Amino acid sequence: GQQLNQSPQSMFIQEGEDVSMNCTSSSIFNTWLWYKQDPGEGPVLLIALYKAGELTSNGRLTAQFGITRKDSFLNISASIPSDVGIYFCAGPPDSGGGADGLTFGKGTHLIIQP
């Protein structure tokens, strides 16, 4: 089946630094989603991307849908302590029309040192 590879697996950064993480796939995705999961909670949708080349922002977060449709990037500017958590990329299967389950990456664990 489809697999999503996220990197890095974990990041240790200083508060105020910018963060960049990415997600790649061996197959094409038509939708890319970025989620954040806090300990003991379910994932929360941050940004959804629906078109190749699309660049979308949500506050300090910016995500891009790669031109090849096989990758996506998430950037966080001026990180703050509440940005700590695990960031997942996700996408629907090839035939996905909303009624199918998502494939998730293994996550990037963001740790911020004050």
Partner 1 sequence: GAGVSQSPRYKVAKRGQDVALRCDPISGHVSLFWYQQALGQGPEFLTYFQNEAQLDKSGLPSDRFFAERPEGSVSTLKIQRTQQEDSAVYLCASSPGVNYGYTFGSGTRLTVV
- Residues forming contacts to partner 1 in the complex (CB under 8 A) are 4, 31, 33, 40-45, 48, 88, 90, 92, 97-107
Classify residue 29 by its DSSP letter.
-
Q: How far apart are CA 33 and CA 111, in angstroms?
A: 21
Burial classification of residue 96, based on how many CB atoms lie within 10 Å of its CB (0-12 exposed, 13-18 middle, 19 or more buried): middle
Name the residue nearer to partner 1 (CB basis): 46 or 112: 46
Q: How near is the Cβ of 43 to partner 1 at its closest, in Å? A: 5
- What is the residue type of 31? T
Name the residue nearer to partner 1 (CB basis): 48 or 52: 48
Q: How far apart are CA 10 and CA 16, in angstroms?
A: 17
Q: How near is the Cβ of 99 to partner 1 at its closest, in Å? A: 5
Name the residue nearer to partner 1 (CB basis): 98 or 114: 98
